[in-house]
Amino acid sequence: MAKRRSTLSEIYVERGEGFLMLDGKRYDFRRGTVFHIPYRSPHQLFNTGKEPAVYISGLAWPLEAAVRMGHMEQIEDAGENDPHLLARFPAEESQYWHIDGRRVSMHEDQFELSGETKHGATYFLMGRSGKQNGFKATAVAISSIFVDLPRSKSHSHAHPEAYLYALQGSGYSEIGGKKYEWEQGDAVHVPPGMMHHQHFNPNDSDMKELRFEYGIRYWLADQWRGYTTVDRHLKATHLDE
């Protein structure tokens, strides 16, 4: 990956292995690792495996494009690894940023299962709702991973804008009264405006979704006195219920 500075961003590694260099410190990654990139911090990803490293990145594009608070700066172009250069990089010392102690990385085997029943299972990562696990994500956050069990549906609810990325399986979502089918690798946009929605797994295997939240959601929740999510059904149920 090219070396760059950008607005605060988050990364989920879908496959591959290697490490991230951030402000001169190393943070290792493998399948399922999540990264928090602090605002304007120079960073670069190195793939040390034998296969392509695939990752999903969430940026607060309004900051990039509209007000230019996070103007992206290319420091170095992408290219092949230099083995001699890789050998000089230090080993990983911590998963936390040495500047202010916030968390930078977390691996899949460190994800904590929540006690929520709104999906078959929910793992909180770095979102405002639920545990933040030491992350300080504000402009954008990979808030959680949802697992919906075979032939089940999530709770029915409404909240400010969010995105889902399908990590596993296929299903459909009902958003604002319309049905949207999706499968692994697709993205699902829940628009702003407290639009009611629900997610369905009609298949005989689990489906898994990664959720991104954006800073306007946090601002709205802070400014809107009495704000709360709207839940018609508080827990996941079987499709026939």
Which CATH number covers residue 24? 2.60.120.10
Q: Tell me, yes or no, whether 134 and 228 share the same domain.
A: yes
How many structural domains comprise the chain?
2
Question: What pLDDT shows up at residue 181?
Answer: 98
pTM: 0.85
Containing structural domain, residue 104: 3-77+93-108
Low-confidence ranges of the chain (pLDDT < 50): none
Q: Tell me, yes or no, whether 156 and 219 share the same domain.
A: yes
pLDDT in tens, 177-219: 999 999 999 999 998 777 889 999 999 999 999 998 876 555 5
| CA atoms of 52 and 26, how far apart (whole Å) | 20
Q: Tell me, yes or no, whether 122 and 185 share the same domain.
A: yes
Q: Tell me, yes or no, whether 104 and 143 share the same domain.
A: no
| CA atoms of 17 and 102, how far apart (whole Å) | 23
Please choose, from the candidates 91, 35, 52, 32, the residue with its C-alpha nearest in 3D space to the C-alpha of residue 44: 35
Q: Tell me, yes or no, whether 203 and 177 share the same domain.
A: yes
Q: Tell me, yes or no, whether 98 and 124 share the same domain.
A: no
Question: What pLDDT shows up at residue 234?
Answer: 58
